[in-house]
Amino acid sequence: MKKSLILFLVCFGLNSICLHAANKLYEKIDLFGEVLEKIEKDYVDDVNQSELMDSAINGVLQSLDPYSAYMSPELFKEMQTDTRGEFGGLGIEIGMEAGVVKVIAPIDDTPAAKAGIKAGDYIIKVGNDQVQGKSLMEAVKLMRGPVGTSIDLTIRRKNVKKSLEFKITREIIEVKSVSSEIIGTKKDLGYIRLKSFNENSDKQFLNVVKKYEKNSKLNGYILDLRNNPGGLLTQAINITDFFLDDGEIVSTKGRKISETRKFFARKGDEIKGKPIIVLINNGSASAAEIFAGALKDHKRAIILGENSFGKGSVQSIIPLRNGGGMRLTISKYYLPSGNSISEVGVTPDIIVEETGKDFKIKSKNDNQLNYALKLFNS
């Protein structure tokens, strides 16, 4: 209310348009108070006013975009475990879409990935709890629990009529972001799977590239970013820079000048122009989209697979006075072409959709990787 009064006084001094806006704001505040009174007086069950206000605050934030959210003091404290590198859980990156929890990507070699959870799945129930109507953070809390305990997830999947049931046992989740192998019929291709953009991903990645570059037989690279949910912007920039001699990598635009920046490649392509194929799918998001999009715009790589997720925004974690916090979108990513990734994603140069019930990344049934191998051999 104090802030509303300040807004009113400032606007009054400016012009009548602002005065009208302030009056409209007061009307909405009065209406909100009236709704709360009616709920307390007439709703069929007793209502916890504190929880109701938390839901109202979260509703405001989630009306902005799927990634802004409120965290109560309890949730905020629990979310701090996300930054420690390992935690007990299922191994999925999730977001919100139209009030429903959506899987951005299952993390490789985690309980969720092993159970068969896929990018694009919608989580309807966690145990006996309906997820729709809950905040993203509340859904995360439901899925966490003691290591070794199991949980039932009810999933809706595109093009599957019936809901799917999964029983998953929680584990300590440790994300090892880089794995690699020399592949191809002539053993002349460097395959590098980048599972996330964590703190040390660039060092791990560069070490692999340097090792492979000592192999005189190596003719190119397949860089696999499928089901990579993203991570740190700085890591996306550093790893993209390995393959570019110059030019813009990505820009961010926000309301604050400090959030509006451009990032450029430094001179020096670590693989000296060797051909690259980048594999992406619906689970490639955020930093993974920056990497794929920048190489595509600079025509430095062929992008192959499925359209990426479309998470092209930056969130900041802001502590609040009550001990809680909020995730707030503060800027958006833009590719060198000037195109936004948000809700659009990166479209592959060659669209190859995942096929077959037995599809598994980096297996004999991986039709996307097989297609990439054929391109190199053609």
154 strand-pairing partners: 125, 165
**Catalytic-labelled residue, pool 177, 286, 308, 331:** 286
311 is catalytic: yes
8 A C-beta contact, residue 259 and residue 330:
yes
Q: Give the whole-angstrom CA distance, residue 81 versus residue 373.
A: 40
Reading phi first (left if > 0) and then psi (alpha if -120 to 50, else beta), residue 151 is in beta
**Catalytic-labelled residue, pool 102, 195, 296, 311:** 311
Q: Give the whole-angstrom CA distance, residue 233 versus residue 314.
A: 9
Q: Apex CA 69: angle with CA 170 and CA 72, to 5°?
A: 75
DSSP codes of every residue in 247-311: SEEEEEEESSGGG-EEEEPPS--TTTT--EEEEE-TT--THHHHHHHHHHHTT-SEEEES-----
**Catalytic-labelled residue, pool 108, 121, 297, 366:** 297
286 is catalytic: yes
* Structure-token pair, residue 54: 């938390």
108 is catalytic: no
Active site residues: 286, 297, 311
